[in-house]
């Protein structure tokens, strides 16, 4: 198992553990439960300039949803994003809600794999041949993605500790 595969596994496990912690941290009948959106609820879009701005939008039937957007991992042209989505089982505003998040990538051709709660929900092919204004190479960006992953894991661990203490 190479470092990238190990990193993907650690991120997926951390997000799953965070989902479990949020589900178990409530009292009474109102609680969070894992929710995996239907692919028709997920929209993938991107713009291409000096970078690829990738945006994922999820449309929910009401306001009672929590999304923990995972970090982006790029492995040989494959973009992998693991996220956790939970639905509140208690009262929630009955209004269609859209939650979105964006990531930046260097120009290139990518196959996107978007996972929610460990399940593959959406795939897309991204093609962008724009010139990079920063001159960063994909190899140099691995360090940025790794740093983002470490920060995301630290945030997730802080949330887990918070929920376990309650």
Q: For the segment 24-58, what is each residue's pLDDT rounded down to a tens digit?
A: 554 556 899 999 999 999 999 999 989 999 999 99
Per-residue pLDDT at 37? 98
Per-residue pLDDT at 30? 82
Q: Which residues contact 45 (CB under 8 A, 6 or more apart)?
A: 54, 55, 57
Enter the tokens of residue 162.
């918070």
Structural domain total, the chain? 1
Total residue count of the chain as it appears in this document: 166
Position 156 in a domain: no
Enter the tokens of residue 57.
């939008």
* 121 touches 34 (CB < 8 A): no
How do strand 78-88 and strand 108-116 relate by DSSP bridges? parallel
Per-residue pLDDT at 157? 56
Per-residue pLDDT at 134? 29
* 133 touches 75 (CB < 8 A): no
Position 15 in a domain: yes
- pTM for this one? 0.65
Residue 17 structural domain: 3-148
User: For tokens 């995972």, what's the residue?
Assistant: 70
């Amino acid at each position: 198992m190479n470092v990238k595969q190990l990193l993907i596994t650690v991120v997926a496990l951390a997000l799953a553990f965070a989902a479990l912690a949020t589900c178990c941290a409530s009292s009474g009948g109102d609680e969070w439960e894992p929710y995996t959106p239907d692919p028709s609820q997920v929209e993938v879009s991107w713009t291409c300039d000096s970078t690829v701005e990738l945006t994922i939008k999820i449309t929910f039937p009401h306001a009672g949803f929590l999304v923990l957007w995972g970090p982006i991992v790029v492995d040989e042209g494959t973009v992998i994003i693991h996220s956790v989505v939970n639905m509140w089982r208690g009262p929630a505003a009955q209004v269609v809600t859209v939650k979105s998040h964006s990531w930046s990538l260097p120009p290139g051709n990518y196959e996107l794999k978007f996972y929610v709660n460990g399940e593959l929900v959406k795939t897309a092919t991204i093609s962008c041949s724009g010139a990079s204004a920063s001159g960063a190479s994909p190899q140099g960006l691995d360090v940025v993605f790794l740093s983002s992953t470490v920060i995301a894991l630290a945030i997730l661990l802080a949330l887990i500790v918070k929920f376990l203490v309650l």
